[in-house]
Amino acid sequence: MAVSVALSQIMNDLSSTLYATQWLLSGYTIGTAAFLITIGRLADIYGRKQLLIIGICLFAFSSLVAALSLGIYCLMASRFVQGVASSIMMTTVMSIITNEFSPRNRGRVIATYGFFLGLGLASGPAVGGLLISYFNWRAIFLVNLPICMLSLWLVMNYLPKSSRSGNYQRVDWLETTVLTLLLLAAVIMISQGSMIDWQSPLMIALCIVFVLLLVLFIKLEKNKPDPMVDISLFMQPNYLGATICGLLSYFCMYAWLCVIGLYLQNIDHYTALKTGLICTPFSLAFAFSSKALSGLINRYANKTLMQIGFIVIIIALGWMANITPLTNQFLLLIEFFLFGVGITIVNAPSMIAATEHVPLDKAGIASGLIFTIRWLGGSVGIVIVSFFYHRYSESLFYPCMVMLLAALTGLLMTLTLSKSRVSYE
């Protein structure tokens, strides 16, 4: 979120167009979503700690390159690499939590992880704004270096070395490459479909490439004893239903982050910094709800918590559908906070419910699949909800109704889940 605050200054400093500058956000998203499954597979084979160290180093390196960039294309490339590094860290961390903590403690650990993730989201706009005000946009990338150094020291000294899976003997690099390119094409089509004409030669070529890669991947996967995308995971109790609930949660979250920023800046004429600050209650709710959730996660079934979360999301979206330029800012803060609470209550239990029955030697690929599906859900949400936002005179009513329908679908999907808990006391 810090980068979104810096887009205007970056565009002016590097003499870039708005479209090229927006790729700083899209490139990161594409780099993250396209490699999640691949990273999950590699983590199961080569060890999670080793891959996490690589991810931290890669993120530090790409941050340094971004800070030293003299042109927009170099910055775009570094942001893509940052996204790849983020996919490594995201997948390996969840896989490590699944492997290193018992079901009794796993829920609290995931909730604590969500707390610090929320703090990062909450502080991003404010810290980014301060760094830009006192220094320049390059500082938002340089600040990552000491954080990466501290993280690397902690991982190397305190995280036990993870063993390699005995079930996976080697990497099928052809299969890995095809899957990565397949996801890359899918994410680009989804994220850029609303900005590039679907009938343009570029999009037609991309669709053809996607279909060919999909056919090739299915052929490679057929009858393999250890397929890259293990369909048997979806047969695990709650994995499919909880993963779809997570997808719908990300659909609402990323669609809301997109349209609320556009609305506040284009209709209410807020600055980028003010927009980031007024959205801070959402991120604070993400942080502190995660902390509160850690005390509830062993007392109540994941299904019950997710149902409460979707109900809160529905209430918040129904309330926000009536936002106008005359809406009191204090009410905005309450609505954004309530929406963040609902998203948090869905996200952590849905992740726990999806992974609690997954075999430990498949934790990496299972986490990669979950995060890939969630990111794709977020990308689809941005495209669909943005269409309704622009189609209906930049009003929030119809976008909120689309997100509300997605949340209602999620609420109904929870009915397919069993009332399991992370631990039993």
What lies within 8 Å, CB to CB, of 228 at 6+ separation is 37, 41, 172, 175, 176, 179, 217, 220, 221, 365
Structure tokens, 386: 């943005």
Token pair for 43: 């983590």
For residue range 207-266, list pLDDT tens digits in order.
899 899 888 888 887 767 777 777 777 777 788 889 999 999 999 988 888 788 778 877
51's CB contacts (< 8 A; 6+ apart) are 39, 42, 43, 88, 92
More confident site: 84 or 176 = 84
- pLDDT grade for 401, boundaries at 50, 70 and 90: very high
Counting Cβ atoms within 10 Å, is residue 150 exposed (0-12), middle (13-18) or buried (19+)? exposed
pLDDT at 125: 66
From residue 206, alpha-carbon distances to 28, 31, 189, 347, 387 in Å are: 19, 17, 7, 32, 21
Q: What is the pLDDT of residue 422?
A: 46
Summarize pLDDT for 343-352 with one digit per residue, the tens. 988 988 888 8
Q: Which one has a higher pLDDT value, 319 or 128?
A: 319
Of 191-205, 212-226, 397-411, least confident by mean pLDDT is 191-205
Give the pLDDT band (50/70/90) at residue 122: low
Per-residue pLDDT tens digits for 3-32: 766 777 888 888 887 667 767 877 887 788
Work out the number of other CB atoms within 10 angstroms of the CB of residue 167: 12
- The dihedrals phi and psi of 225, each to the nearest 5 degrees, come to -70, -30
Give the orientation angle of helix 36-46 with respect to helix 48-68, to 10 degrees: 130
Topology (CATH) of 2-416: Growth Hormone; Chain: A; (1.20.1250)
109 close to 101: Cβ distance less than 8 angstroms: yes
What is the structure's pLDDT at 277?
76
Q: Which of 143-147, 199-203, 384-388, 416-420 is least confident?
A: 416-420
pLDDT band, very low/low/confident/very high, at 309 (cuts 50, 70, 90): very high
Question: Are 300 and 420 contacting, i.e. CB atoms less than 8 angstroms apart?
Answer: no
Give one DSSP letter per residue of 111-163, joined into a string: HHHHHHHHHHHHHHHHHHHHHHHHS-TTHHHHTHHHHHHHHHHHHHHHSPPPP
Q: So what's the pLDDT on residue 425? A: 37
- 78 has pLDDT over 80: yes
How does residue 56 score in pLDDT terms, banded at 50, 70 and 90? very high
* pLDDT score, position 407: 96
Report pLDDT for 370: 86
Task: Please report, for residues 128, 139, 140, 291, 308, the alpha-carbon distance to residue 64 in angstroms, rounded to integers and kept in the order given.
Answer: 16, 10, 10, 32, 42
What are the extents of the domains in the chain?
Answer: 2-416
Q: Look up the pTM and report it.
A: 0.78
- Report the C-alpha gap between 80 and 26 in whole angstroms: 8
How big is the chain by its Cα radius of gyration, in Å? 21
Looking at residue 169, its pLDDT comes to 55
Taking residues 274-297, report their average pLDDT.
76
As a whole number, the mean pLDDT across the chain is 81
Residue 181 has pLDDT above 90, yes or no: no
The pLDDT, as a whole number, for residue 141 is 92
Q: What is the pLDDT of residue 423?
A: 42
pLDDT band for 424, please (50, 70, 90 cuts): very low
pLDDT at 420 over 70: no
Task: Report which of 260, 295, 253, 291 is spatially closest to residue 274, judged by C-alpha positions.
Answer: 260
Specify the residue for token string 């600050």.
277
Q: Provide the b/e sequence for 94-121 (b: ≥16 CB within 10 Å).
A: bbbbbbbeebeebbbbbbbbbbebbbbb
Position 87: which residue type? Answer: S
Sign of the C-alpha dihedral computed for residues 24, 28, 31 and 34 taken in this order: negative
Higher pLDDT, 110 or 339: 339
Q: How confident is the model at residue 193 (pLDDT cuts 50, 70, 90)?
A: low
